[in-house]
Structures are given as structure tokens and as C-alpha cells.
Amino acid sequence: MSVILSINDRIIILSNNIDGRWIAAMNNFSLSNCRGELVNKQNLKHFVGEKLAEAFNSTIECLSQTEHKPTYDKLPFHHLIFNTTYKCNLSCKYCYFSADSSGSSLNEDLIEYSIRKCLDFLDDNSELTVLFQGGEALLEYDSIRNALEKLGKQPKIHYQMQTNGTLINEDAMNLFEKYNMHVSFSLDSHMENHNDLRSKNPDIFLQKIFDACKMFQERNLDYGIISVVCKNNINDLRFMFQEFIKRGIHTFAYNLLWPIGRAKNEGLDELVVPVGQLVDTMLNVYKDIYKFNIDQGHTPFEKYHERNLFMLWRRLFYRKLTNYMCMNTPCGAGINTLTVDTDGQVFPCALMLPPLEKGFQIGKIYTDSISSLLQKDSLVKHRNLDQISQCSTCTYKAACAGGGCGIAFYHSKKDINSISIYCDYYYEMLSAMIEHAMLQMGVRVLKNFEG
Ligand code: SF4
Ligand code: SF4
């Protein structure tokens, strides 16, 4: 196979885009820019000149031999997601789920039954993450608590919940503490009126969220914040990191806005941040977090991290290519992850539930075995980066893996192999992360592999 070459004004990078190995050099030669060129020993000189091509000769040979790396879709079953309810006490304008005050919820028997069935399926060495999301999961607090009480302590289970945070009270905190549940809740900005996509009363919303932060801090419990990045809050992201430090938050996620579901109906496409501004801001966030960890005596992202940048960093520099389900193609949906809907129907992923589009169910939790559900075909399993021309020859195919959730792009374009709307962001960001590392280390050449 050939190796991929990209050049921008700052770096020259050669990669094997299947196993994720790369070597980068500073572009001190004013070479013309190119992106995703297939190169070999013979044609490299046309892009970088005879002398540099000669210097890269042995590296080209090394990168031409693809190393075997495990892929996410080969991991065993490990993730059970509950769509706890279609109801929500808010109605965020970008909710892909279009949740509001009406709709069905699951009951405690369905939760208990599903978890027991998955536990029975696990082999001795596997563990299960159980995630409650919705709609607003805490509207079904009683059902969740009753099911967990019936199940008792389950050492193989890691519980997680995604909530809008407004219903967190002492009872909920007791549940989180007792079951060591990792809770993520939502906050788009530390500025009241920059949360107005979430709530019609952003002042009350902000106070409730800060109260919830305090409850977690008082109990010394781990929690995380999820923010949806759009034009309304892009200028707040760096300040928010300082706010998170103050409130004892180590892990947070700046998720990029997907204009699907209610976001599409609300015309929020126009709130997608332009690539240049997005790269500038996220790179500054990246540098802030990097530096803050080091200043505190940690390694770069050891203690404080924004989830998406942290995962990207690990993938790019350490080739941890099976971390974070949604940064993989194929992702784990329907392969090692199942989503149970309120009526017991099973879907590969929550992004395939009926509010977005009907017809993606793969069976029923009460009647189908877990192994038969995992073998069912589904659209999401057909996303293939080699069918997307930009991705197939992209320098960063292994690290980026397609720029986010394929089903989200499907909902926009009705093509499972459509390019990510954030492709250029990922490409520029990954290049900038390499350049940043080289500047930090004071080197003109850097690579992420031995040999
Ligand atoms: S379909 Fe999208 S959200 Fe669901 S697991 Fe795959 S990448 Fe993640
Ligand atoms: S989406 Fe990612 S892998 Fe695909 S071309 Fe863009 S940067 Fe490369």
C-alpha cells in the first residue's frame, strides 16, 4: 500500500492511515500545500523535492507495512443504553430527540429484566456500562432506583446517567452515591443568556446547575459537564474551563452541534461555528488544558480534560484507536452496544430511535437473545470510510475516523457514507495538535512510532 502525504504552511506529514503511524517535519521549505496524496518512494520527490524525498526513504518503507491494530467493532459487548423516557422538563432547541412534556417512559421491570439479560450474556472477564439517558432520565427516578435496588450491588456494572441537571436533589444524590453512578449534566455557558437554547429561563437554569455542582462537590463525587458548541457560546469555552476548575470538574465535553432533529426544525444550521473560528478556539482550549495540567504537576491531560480533545490526543499521539465508541467507524452501535427503548424494542443506538427516523429497530429485549440482536444487520454497520473519498485517502483516517457520528450525518444527508460536516475542523485541529507538540518539544521532526 502507499503512504499518505499532506503539507500545510507549517508541517509536512506522512502517515499510514490504517494503523495511525505518522512522521511530521516542520515545513521550513515553503513547500506547496497538498492534502491526502498517495505517495511512494518514486513519486514523493514531486511534492517535497529530491533531497527531502531521499531523507524520507526508509520511513516510507516502514510506513508501507501496515501494523495490525484492534478495532472498536471487535470489542465484546459492553454497553447497554436505556432510553429512559421521551419526556423532558426542558425542550432544548437542539435536542436531536425532540423531547418535550409528553411521551412514554420505561418501567422498573424492563430495566431490571434488560440488565439481568445482559449480565447473563457477559463472559467472566467482561464488564457492562449501563447508561440512562432520554429525554430527562431523572423524570423516571423512581423506576431507576427501584430497579437498581432489586438488582443490588453488581460489581460488573458501571452506571452512568446523562441528565439536564435541573432535577438533581438529595434523593438523586443518594442514588448516585450508592451506585457509584457517573453523572453528566448540561451547561452551555457560565453566562446566563448563553444557555437560552436550553431553557426559556436561563437565569433559573444556571443557578440550578451551579447548585447541582455544589452537591457533587460536597459529597466529593465524580461528575462531568456536557456543553453543545455553537456560535452562541464559542467565545465562552475558555472561560468555562476556568469555571470548571473552580467547581471541581475534571471532565467535561464540548460536543459540536449537530443540526438534526429539533435543531434542524429550529433552523440551527446557521449556529454551526465556521471552521476557522472553531479551530482557533478549540486549539486555545487544548493549549489551556495542556498547560494547566502541567502547571499542576500532571502529565498533559492526566487530570483535567475535555473528552473529545483528550480522546483525539490519545488516538493521534498514542494510537489508542479503540477508545471512545463514537470516534470509530464502524462504531459499536449494534455490535457491542444496544439501546433499549421505553417499550422494550431494541435499537443499535439512541440516534436511531423513532423521533429521528422510524424503522431502525433490530428486535425486542423480551423475546430476542442478546447474541441474535448483536448479529442483526443495520444501516450504521455499513458506514465505511473507504467509501468516502476524502476519508479514504486522509492522513488522519485512523485518528479521526470520519469526523464524528455517521448516523448523525445520515440524518442530514440520507447517505450513510456522507462526509462529516466537521471534516475540515478535524483535519486542521489534528495538524495543529502535531505542530503544537513539536513547538513544545522544540523539535523539527516528530513521529508517533518506534523504528
Ligand atoms: S451511531 Fe453515532 S452516537 Fe451511536 S454509537 Fe455510533 S457514533 Fe456513537
Ligand atoms: S472526516 Fe476526518 S478522516 Fe475523514 S477526511 Fe475529514 S479529517 Fe480525514
In terms of Cβ atoms closer than 10 Å to its own Cβ (0-12, 13-18, 19+), residue 289 is buried
Cα 75 to ligand 2 centroid, rounded to whole Å:
23
- Cβ–ligand 1 distance for 147 under 6 Å, the answer no
Q: Tens digit of pLDDT for each residue in 172-201?
A: 999 999 999 999 999 999 888 888 888 777
What mean pLDDT do residues 394-400 have? 97
Q: Between the CA of residue 225 and those of 90, 165, 202, 267, 422, what are the distances in Å?
A: 17, 10, 16, 25, 22
**Shortest-distance Cα residue to atom 8 of ligand 1:** 326
Q: Tens digit of pLDDT for each residue in 403-423?
A: 999 999 999 999 999 999 999
As a whole number of angstroms, the distance between CA 408 and CA 356 comes to 10
Say yes or no to pLDDT of 450 above 70. yes
Cα 36 to ligand 2 centroid, rounded to whole Å:
10
What mean pLDDT do residues 199-226 have? 89
What mean pLDDT do residues 145-156 have? 97
| Ligand (nearest to CA of 72) | 1
Residue 246 C-alpha from the chain's centroid: 24
Whole-model pTM?
0.95
Q: What is the pLDDT of residue 202?
A: 79
Q: What is the pLDDT of residue 69?
A: 86
Cα 212 to ligand 2 centroid, rounded to whole Å:
37
Q: Tens digit of pLDDT for each residue in 223-260?
A: 999 999 999 999 999 999 999 998 888 999 999 999 99
Q: What is the pLDDT of residue 192?
A: 86
Q: What is the pLDDT of residue 451?
A: 77
As a whole number of angstroms, the distance between CA 72 and CA 74 comes to 5
Residue 17, CB half-sphere, CA atoms under 13 Å: how many?
Answer: 27
Atom index in ligand 2 nearest the CA of residue 394 equals 8
Q: What is the mean pLDDT of the chain?
A: 95
As a whole number of angstroms, the distance between CA 431 and CA 399 comes to 11
Report which residue type is found at 208: K
Q: What is the pLDDT of residue 1?
A: 60
What mean pLDDT do residues 154-171 have? 96
Q: Between the CA of residue 359 and those of 117, 194, 261, 365, what are the distances in Å?
A: 24, 36, 16, 16
As a whole number of angstroms, the distance between CA 299 and CA 276 comes to 28
As a whole number of angstroms, the distance between CA 419 and CA 272 comes to 16
Q: What is the pLDDT of residue 309?
A: 97
Q: What is the pLDDT of residue 141?
A: 98
Q: What is the pLDDT of residue 323?
A: 86
**Shortest-distance Cα residue to atom 5 of ligand 1:** 333
Atom index in ligand 1 nearest the CA of residue 328 equals 7
Residues 6+ away with beta carbon under 8 Å from 52? 12, 25, 29
What mean pLDDT do residues 316-326 have? 93
- Cβ–ligand 1 distance for 407 under 6 Å, the answer yes
Q: Tens digit of pLDDT for each residue in 258-305?
A: 999 888 888 889 999 999 999 999 999 999 999 999 999 999 999 999
**Shortest-distance Cα residue to atom 2 of ligand 1:** 405
| Structural contact between residues 448 and 334, judged by C-beta atoms closer than 8 angstroms | no
Q: Residues in the chain, how many?
A: 451
As a whole number of angstroms, the distance between CA 270 and CA 231 comes to 8
Cα 349 to ligand 1 centroid, rounded to whole Å:
6
Q: What is the pLDDT of residue 97?
A: 80
Q: Give residue for cell 471487535.
A: 74
- Cβ–ligand 1 distance for 437 under 6 Å, the answer no
- Cβ–ligand 1 distance for 326 under 6 Å, the answer yes
Say yes or no to pLDDT of 319 above 80. yes
In terms of Cβ atoms closer than 10 Å to its own Cβ (0-12, 13-18, 19+), residue 376 is middle
Q: Between the CA of residue 60 and those of 17, 141, 214, 270, 384, what are the distances in Å?
A: 13, 57, 54, 43, 26
| Ligand (nearest to CA of 417) | 2
| Structural contact between residues 56 and 47, judged by C-beta atoms closer than 8 angstroms | no
| Ligand (nearest to CA of 409) | 1
Atom index in ligand 2 nearest the CA of residue 385 equals 4
Cis omega (within 30 of 0) on the bond before 330?
A: yes
Residue 223 bridge partners (DSSP): 183
36: left (phi over 0), alpha (psi -120 to 50) or beta: left
Q: Tens digit of pLDDT for each residue in 74-120?
A: 999 999 999 999 999 988 888 888 888 889 999 999 999 999 999 99
Say yes or no to pLDDT of 65 above 90. yes
Residue 148: pLDDT band with limits 50, 70, 90 = very high
Work out the end-to-end distance of the chain between its first and last CA atoms, rounded to an integer number of angstroms: 19
| Ligand (nearest to CA of 402) | 2
